[in-house]
Amino acid sequence: MSREQLVVQRARKSFQTGRTKPLEFRIHQLKSLLRFISDRRRDIAEAVKKDLGKSEHGTELFETLGLEGDIKLAVEKLAEWAAPRPVEKNLLTISDEVYVQPEPLGVVLIIGAWNYPWAVTLQPLVGAIAAGNAAIIKPSEVSSHSAKVMEELLPQYLDKDLYPVVTGGVPETQELLRQRFDHIFYTGNSTVGKLVMEAAARHLTPVTLELGGKSPCYIDKDCDITIACRRITWGKFVNCGQTCIAPDYILCEPSIQSRVVEEINKNVKEFYTDNPKTFEDYGRIINQRHFKRVMALMEGSTVAVGGDSDESQCYIAPTVLKDVTRESRVMKEEIFGPLLPIITVSGVDEAIQFINEREKPLVVYVFSHDNKLIKRVIAETSSGALLANDCLVHFTVSALPFGGVGNSGMGCYHGRHSFNQLSHLRSCLIKQLKMEGVNSMRYPPHTAKKLGWARFFLLKQVDVSRLRRMALLTMFAGLAAFVVQNPKHCQVIHPVLRFFRTKLSISIFSHSL
């Protein structure tokens, strides 16, 4: 029996004891994960520095800060997320208890990515723990220093049997994928994503695939180009361009191309100095294989900004490519590096057509003062997300589901969406052994009269909460009328009126949420 098989077997055996079901246990594990991040902040930063050349402050900002927020949100909201969720009834089930009960899926496999080795590996883990699952954590072997720290230190804080870390390369990942899981959560590229989905299909295992793609960025010629380019420069070159939601290429009219190049060049110098190679907040390409891949993408394109490189350090300067064509090599695959090509289009019509002719991206970016233009791009394109007048920041909003569509992925996570994604939302209906006369319409023989009653009882939806509000409102109005007609009873009735007014306000407020 392989090491991977033993680890999965042990996790499943531990899960089947029911230890993960009590909310107190889940909260304890989440708090332990939070303590791990706090205690081992320096170890995490040193590992990321060795892997990606990222500064300590950059690691906290882009790796652990959002992770801490996700954990704290899960601890605060877990009781609410895990509670039964009442649903609307029909007349046939009006007296029954009908609700959705979230329950754990079982054993989850989390395969992390190397570009943000902590955030994209441990954020799904937060959802898995909160939902009451066991989870096998497989960090990317490409970010080897982070993987080693995770393997050595995380088991000191979390339950070793329920949340083991498995390291290794392709053979170890393939062996893991041969095992049966209840859900697989993969972050990476679409090529490997297809292999993960193929392996999962053998066990009918559901998957969440957080992939990538070429996220376009359209700049309207009438927008504030200075601010637009400042935000694009930040969003593109953070983490040396190795961000799945980074703008992959710019679409703009020929009349503003030179201005866009000029503004981005100015911002690169402001953010990373005249020599980004020596600036601590500008990282490095993960390894030489990816360095060579990114450098090869520049072939046949005109460098407008940057272009410098040093293979010995895996350094590529922030680079802008102009006059790029649809057939250019840089447009054939996701860049995942600090190259920003500019493609000129005649306007928003051609930009939308260009986007729609390609695979659905993880994000569509649009910069414009015109709200109608923004809404048109939303209506006429499809992507995992759309962000107007900024870059990346939608990732920080826990209430927004983060994920792709089509070739950019399937499923979503963050906040409550992580909990739902890694839970089974179980339909529950509890009926009493009474009122058998009402049920007789469904028993044979089936007649036209019974069909008529069935149509009435089954097709008529009943909003119980609305009925409750109407009843409270009726009682409140009745008491108010009584007070008007009998003023001498005011002192006795006023507390009752206040009670019903409070109950009615709470009911209306709850419905609005």
| Residue in 217, 223, 240, 244 annotated catalytic | 244
Question: Residue 273 — φ and ψ, nearest 5°?
Answer: 70, 180
Residue among 271, 266, 338, 261 nearest 298 (CA): 338
244 is catalytic: yes
Using CA atoms, how far apart are residues 386 and 292, in angstroms rounded to an integer?
Answer: 31
172 is catalytic: no
Residue type for 10, please?
Answer: R
DSSP state of 359: P
Strands, sheet with 216-219, edge to edge from the N-terminal-most edge strand:
302-305, 319-322, 339-344, 249-252, 216-219, 363-367, 385-388
Q: Which residues of 27-59 are buried (b: 16+ CB within 10 A; e: fewer)?
A: bebbebbbebbeebeebbbbbbbebbbbbeebb
Using CA atoms, how far apart are residues 13 and 223, in angstroms rounded to an integer?
Answer: 58
- The DSSP secondary structure of 104-134, one letter per residue, reads E-SEEEEE--SSSTTHHHHHHHHHHHHTT-E
Coil/strand/helix, residue 216: strand
Using CA atoms, how far apart are residues 183 and 419, in angstroms rounded to an integer?
Answer: 13
DSSP state of 202: T
Using CA atoms, how far apart are residues 209 and 196, in angstroms rounded to an integer?
Answer: 9
| Sole residue written with tokens 């909201």 | 77
| Residue in 210, 253, 263, 334 annotated catalytic | 210
Coil/strand/helix, residue 346: coil
Residues with a catalytic annotation lie at: 210, 244
